[in-house]
Structure 1
Amino acid sequence: MQILPASKNDYPEILDVWEASVRATHDFLTEEAILYFKPLILNTFLDAVELLCARDERGAILGFMGVAEESIEMLFIAPDSRGTGIGKALLSYGIEELKATRVDVNEQNPQALEFYEHMGFEVVGRSERDGMGKPYPLLHMKLRDND
């Protein structure tokens, strides 16, 4: 597996990974919500972050991460690649290379919360709504200091 920068040519495959991942892990989202977010991901959100992909030996995208202003804005893994260390590799890259120290996690996604806690993050706040004003509570997390 390699972690490499993404290009606009990768966006369709990234969107496929996003949708498959969301359907596998975000059971609190309705079909309507997924269809609402899908064009926003493709046309707005991917351009707003430093975007990196984890690729297999054939170049297929197994997962991706977007970082902006030292915050992990998105981290999604293809369902059949979950539990293989790809998320850990991407997050470690984000922390070490991009100096990411913050992440927001959907409160209704306990697997993500557990993952980030395991990786050294702690909850430091909560919002009732997501960044789009939708009723999906967010937990604000910060990398614990290793002092």
Structure 2
Amino acid sequence: MTIRQRIPSDNLALSELWLRSVRATHTFLGEADIQALYPQVRDLYLPAVQVWVEENPDGRPAGFIGIDQDKVEMLFIEPEQRGQGIGTRLLDFVRQRCGPLSVDVNEQNPEAHGFYRHYGFHDTGRSETDGQGQPFPLIHMALAPSSNR
């Protein structure tokens, strides 16, 4: 599989991947929440960060990661491809470029929290609300500079 930088024409396909992934993993969000976030992801969040895409052999995105400096802002994988190492490869890829990383994880998404802990991140704090002030608590995490992967 190939990892490449996002191009603007990817935004629709990546937004659709985001939608499928969120519906599969973010069970704490209602459909109204997801529908409200969708255009923001497509039109605001994807263009605002550096995004790397892992492609399947047929060119379809298998997953993507969005970073802002050394902070992981988004990491989403096609639901049927979870558990195949895509998230780890994307984290390894950006870590080589950015060094130690940080991430905020929804507290109500224990699978994501476990994934990042398994990768080597540790909890550094907690917020009662998400970045939009919604009542979705976040766990702040950081990857130690000396963490070997």
TM-score of the pair, normalised by structure 2? 0.96
Give secondary structure in 2 for the equivalent of 1:20.
Answer: helix
Q: How far does the alpha carbon of each residue in 1:94-145 deviate from its partner, in whole angstroms, 9 at most, with x for none?
A: 1112335100000000000000001110000000000011110000000024
Gaps of 5+ in 1: none
Q: Is the 8 A contact 1:128 1:138 kept in 2?
A: yes
Report the residue type matching 1:43 in the other structure. Answer: D
Range 114-123 or range 99-108, more displaced = 99-108
1:81: Cα distance to partner?
A: 0.7
Q: How far does the alpha carbon of each residue in 1:35-77 deviate from its partner, in whole angstroms, 9 at most, with x for none?
A: 1100100110001110110001111100000000210000000
Residue 41 (structure 1) aligned with residue 35 (structure 2): no
Q: Is the 8 A contact 1:3 1:55 kept in 2?
A: yes
TM-score of the pair, normalised by structure 1? 0.97
Pairing 1:6-45 to 2, within 5 Å after superposition: 6-45=6-45
1:29: Cα distance to partner?
A: 0.2
Distance 1:12 1:100, change over 3 A: farther
Root-mean-square deviation over aligned CA pairs: 1.0
Q: Is the 8 A contact 1:67 1:100 kept in 2?
A: no
Flag as ranges the 4+ runs of structure 1 deviating above 6 A: none
| Percent of matched pairs sharing the same residue | 42
Residue 130 (structure 1) aligned with residue 130 (structure 2): yes
Q: Match for residue 52 of structure 1?
A: 52
Gaps of 5+ in 2: none
State the aligned residue count: 147
Give secondary structure in 2 for the equivalent of 1:88.
Answer: helix
Report the residue type matching 1:18 in the other structure. Answer: W
Pairing 1:1-147 to 2, within 5 Å after superposition: 1-146=1-146
Q: Is the 8 A contact 1:18 1:76 kept in 2?
A: yes
